[in-house]
Structure 1
Amino acid sequence: MAEQKRPHNPNDSSFNLDEDGADGGDKDTTLDRIKTGAFERNVALTRMGVGAGAKIASHTMRNFFRRGESKDEANRNFYRAQAKELADELGRLKGSVMKAGQMLSLYGQYFLPEEAVEVLASLQDNTPAVSWAFVEPQLIDALGEKTVSKLEINRKPIAAASLGQAHLGTIKATGEQVVVKIQYPGVASAIDTDIRTLSRLISATRLAPKALDLSGVFNELRAMLERECDYVQEKAFTETFGERLLGDERFIVPKVYPEFCAKRVLTTRYEPGFSVSSKQVQALSQSRRNALAKSFAELFVTEFFDWQLVQTDPHFGNYRIRIDPQGEHDQIVTLDFGATRTFDSSFVESYGQIVRGSLQFNRKEIAQAVIEIGLMNPDTPPSVLEGFGDLTELIVEPFRKPFDSNVPDRLYTPGGAYRFGDTDLPARVGQTAALKMMSKHFKIPPQEIIFLHRRIGGVLVTLKTLRAELKLHELLKPHLGLN
């Protein structure tokens, strides 16, 4: 296939990022292939498990002679080293086992050491690309040589991730610039084996408490991976978001080209833009950054409360900023809908009750909704429910009315907007959670909560990155019946 030069666009500071956001276009290292066979993947991880067992025995013996802070520090270093070794091996294997490791970091905050969560979460930042010779057969097998011949494709990927990589291309007949997302061969068929192996490996490395049953977590990981490997479903979600945002000029959803799509291949229009954290976006005026931030927040609220359909992967690579040269209509390019989830009306209603109860300091409403949603049981002690109320009432701080006495004065502008750039809310939430939520009655949240909070956290990080100053209370009023 012919090499195609990347088109110049003055509004394009970087390539569109795919899946996990790792930019494969600038990687120095390229893998010739990935281990796709169950046997060779098992051998690699089993070898690591054996080595982990020996290190655990050695660490336990050395720690026997340590005391106090010295022992705690040794434990932290040990967990960090074990997790780093696990992450390195998952990164080399790529595929579903690496994606499962990333997803595990979301669940892991509830049962893994903090050091392990940090390392697993970093998996998305180091993903080498795979050679064109390895992925081209997958593309031809999916679309057929005749269809593939209608495209000019650059053999160097513009983005590489755990499940696949993306290549820039051109439709020969029209000259349209496209991004061809190709899933790595064997990824989907390896999911069951990878999940079982990762489960055993987490146990072997002693990263999770020995008595904790994680079968439910790994079952959920398996189901999520199967969804993310289904590009037909992702194509449908991309088209759905495109239709629903068609009349909203604030957003751009890439056009899908069905002729060049299949279960393991997805082709969409190339939509350039700047990263939210880029110097170009950071240099925008306060009013323009506020407008972008408000659009981000409104999109999430609309997805959850109105559509009950949420793109749950908030990585910066999935959202690009199209800067208007005239300075009036900056736009948000939304990418990658593989992690889109639907939510039941009952879940949305119960979650809304938690938010409403937290804003109105109604502990009874919070407790009722927490039990309904599956975070706690009916026999949960009142003290634990009270602790959860303390936490949620703090989390909704940016959504309170202007000049609320429960919000530090320094976080309001003279006009009553919340200063996201100056907030230390994440640190205060973490401290409160550590004090209030250490209880056997608090369960690992259901996957709906995990992935919803993933997106909410992403929205808040985006608003902080934009240094936004917003009044968000009005945004929730029509959905929660607030005054």
Structure 2
Amino acid sequence: MSERDNSLFGEVRRMVRTSGAVTGIAARVAGERFLGIKTDKGAHAEDLKKILGGLKGPMMKVAQFLSTVPDALPEEYARELATLQANAPAMGWAFVKRRMSTELGPDWQGRFASFGQEAAAAASLGQVHRARLPDGTEVACKLQYPDMPSVVEADLRQLKLAMQLYRRMDSSLDNEEAYEELKTRLREELDYEREAAQQRLYGLMLADEPAIRVPQPVQSLTTKRLLTMTWLDGSSILRRIEEEPDLEERNAYARALFAAWYKPLYRYGVIHGDPHLGNYQVRVPDRGINLLDFGTIRVFPPSFVGGVISLYEAVRDGDEEKAAHAFETWGFRNLPRETMRVLYKWAEFLYEPLLQDRVRRIQETDDPTFGRKVAEEVHKGLKRTGGVRVPREFPLMDRAAIGLGSVFFRLKAELNWHRLFMELTEGFEEGKLAERQAAALAAAGVPPG
């Protein structure tokens, strides 16, 4: 059987496995909405998680992404899918050798002084092996699982069907553009040469931030399906939190994370779109962080970044006219005033920690479900006012804010968030950002898109 046939049958099997879950969602939600049949959506969501969690990588990543986009899926499903983790079975050594030979040629082992046979870590689209170059440099080799392009395309088709069904039945948000954004980012993530360029970009943007380390790609050992980069030593932030470090250490991690995400945004119009806890490590000895996994990167036009700052100013000043203009800059078109006021409540929630010039926690209530409750209120308001179309620019920004906020909450960090924000945005000019952005993208070799 040819590789193309294997790819086709693998995709069909995958669609059969996910189609059952999608059909189940449709039947249960439709039954409750149109026929009055009460169903246990919580139990069904658990079943859905088990089905999707057993798949290899992309659908898990999609589920994590959607769990942070308000109203993309029913709340029960979003809550369960948010707990998914990468659990793809590791490729065995014999298979790894064949894959490495395909990427670097039959003499590939001669290009390393040593190469770990066991995977050191799992990524959403591949697995990582630790190796050493002949000059002694320790490296990480991220090797993509086979047939990932067809796997991603099958997942995307199933995802589109699920989102369309939910949109017709219950959702107050039109997530068609959010789907297009996710599709673009997932397809880009398959290209490890692109990720290597984005890694170089972050190395440039954060070069003067000693608390933040970015792995550097080894270009001669990188292909579209193999990314070789310098190895960084670090540990899990969750494990470190469980060890109850003091406030000064927790604040150091929070300060570095804030700079790692928001300095690139406000100075270069670039955001790391995946604040998953596995995508950074802490370095206990010097209280810094390692920033990892650069497959999901979004480059915004300078006007969008200007809109982010304008929305902050609108919330600060209680200026509805400025808020309406900022939302339009973000891509929300033709908003009725009542709908804009509902979205404004979400903006107040996101910007609230930045408004007060004092040291404080990111969220001053100890209720971990507070953000979900605000989202539910916004959802109800949007349904009441006729819904809204979510622009492509929104999901990754929203995901970064919610994802990082949850980390700051777990850290119980106490910082002056207002001053951190003002230091990055003071003297902002769209023209200067455009110049910095163009120069950095060109220097790193990031392709357009």
Give the TM-score band, short-chain normalised: 0.7 to 0.9
Amino acid at match of 1:245: L
Report the Cα offset of residue 236 of structure 1: 0.9
Q: 1:269 to 1:481 in 2, by over 3 A?
A: closer
- What does the per-residue CA deviation read over 1:348-397, in whole Å, with 9 as the maximum and x for residues that have no partner? 1112111121122222211221123223x33x332332233233223322
Q: Find out whether 1:168 has 2:113 as its counterpart.
A: no
Structure 2 counterparts to residues 7-406 of structure 1, below 5 A: 37-46=7-16, 49=19, 53=23, 71=38, 74-77=39-42, 80-81=43-44, 83-107=45-69, 109-151=70-112, 152-171=114-133, 173-200=134-161, 208-210=167-169, 216-279=177-240, 282-324=243-285, 329-375=286-332, 377-378=333-334, 380-402=335-357
Query: Does structure 2 conserve the Cα–Cα contact (< 8 Å) formed by 1:87 and 1:101?
Result: no
Report the Cα offset of residue 280 of structure 1: 6.7
Distance 2:342 2:206 in 1: 40
Query: Does structure 2 conserve the Cα–Cα contact (< 8 Å) formed by 1:275 and 1:320?
Result: yes
- What does the per-residue CA deviation read over 1:224-260, in whole Å, with 9 as the maximum and x for residues that have no partner? 1111111111111112222333333211112322221
TM-score by length of 1: 0.76
Report the Cα offset of residue 165 of structure 1: 0.8
Name 2:411's counterpart in structure 1. 466
Distance 2:245 2:59 in 1: 40
Query: Does structure 1 conserve the Cα–Cα contact (< 8 Å) formed by 2:141 and 2:229?
Result: yes
Query: Does structure 1 conserve the Cα–Cα contact (< 8 Å) formed by 2:140 and 2:231?
Result: yes
TM-score by length of 2: 0.82
Report the Cα offset of residue 194 of structure 1: 3.5
Name the structure where helix makes up a greater proportion of residues: 2
Name 2:436's counterpart in structure 1. none
Name 1:418's counterpart in structure 2. 360
Report the Cα offset of residue 178 of structure 1: 1.5
Q: 1:360 to 1:428 in 2, by over 3 A?
A: farther
- What does the per-residue CA deviation read over 1:23-59, in whole Å, with 9 as the maximum and x for residues that have no partner? xxxxxxxxxxxx9623332234236535865796689
Q: Find out whether 1:438 has 2:400 as its counterpart.
A: no
Name stretches of at least 5 consecutive residues in structure 1 with no aligned partner: 1-34, 403-415
Equivalences, count = 417
Distance 1:62 1:420 in 2: 38
Distance 1:460 1:140 in 2: 43
Query: Does structure 2 conserve the Cα–Cα contact (< 8 Å) formed by 1:303 and 1:309?
Result: yes
Query: Does structure 2 conserve the Cα–Cα contact (< 8 Å) formed by 1:420 and 1:468?
Result: yes
Q: Secondary structure at the match of 2:271?
A: strand
Q: 1:51 to 1:305 in 2, by over 3 A?
A: closer
Query: Does structure 2 conserve the Cα–Cα contact (< 8 Å) formed by 1:135 and 1:184?
Result: no
Name 1:405's counterpart in structure 2. none
Query: Does structure 1 conserve the Cα–Cα contact (< 8 Å) formed by 2:160 and 2:179?
Result: yes
RMSD across aligned positions (CA):
3.2
Query: Does structure 2 conserve the Cα–Cα contact (< 8 Å) formed by 1:199 and 1:218?
Result: yes
Amino acid at match of 1:431: K
Report the Cα offset of residue 450 of structure 1: 0.6
* Percent of aligned pairs with the same amino acid: 28
Q: 1:62 to 1:290 in 2, by over 3 A?
A: closer
Amino acid at match of 1:438: L
Query: Does structure 1 conserve the Cα–Cα contact (< 8 Å) formed by 2:66 and 2:73?
Result: no
Distance 1:36 1:229 in 2: 19
Amino acid at match of 1:445: V
Q: 1:356 to 1:184 in 2, by over 3 A?
A: same
Distance 1:47 1:283 in 2: 42
Report the Cα offset of residue 286 of structure 1: 1.6
Distance 1:435 1:131 in 2: 48
Q: Secondary structure at the match of 1:123?
A: coil
Name 1:413's counterpart in structure 2. none
Distance 1:247 1:339 in 2: 23
Q: 1:202 to 1:387 in 2, by over 3 A?
A: closer
Q: 1:239 to 1:464 in 2, by over 3 A?
A: same
- What does the per-residue CA deviation read over 1:110-137, in whole Å, with 9 as the maximum and x for residues that have no partner? 2421111123223325443232333432
Q: Secondary structure at the match of 1:180?
A: strand
Q: 1:207 to 1:158 in 2, by over 3 A?
A: farther
Distance 1:292 1:210 in 2: 43
Amino acid at match of 1:37: S
Distance 2:211 2:318 in 1: 35
Amino acid at match of 1:435: E
Q: Which has the larger radius of gyration?
A: 1
Report the Cα offset of residue 314 of structure 1: 0.8
Q: 1:386 to 1:215 in 2, by over 3 A?
A: closer
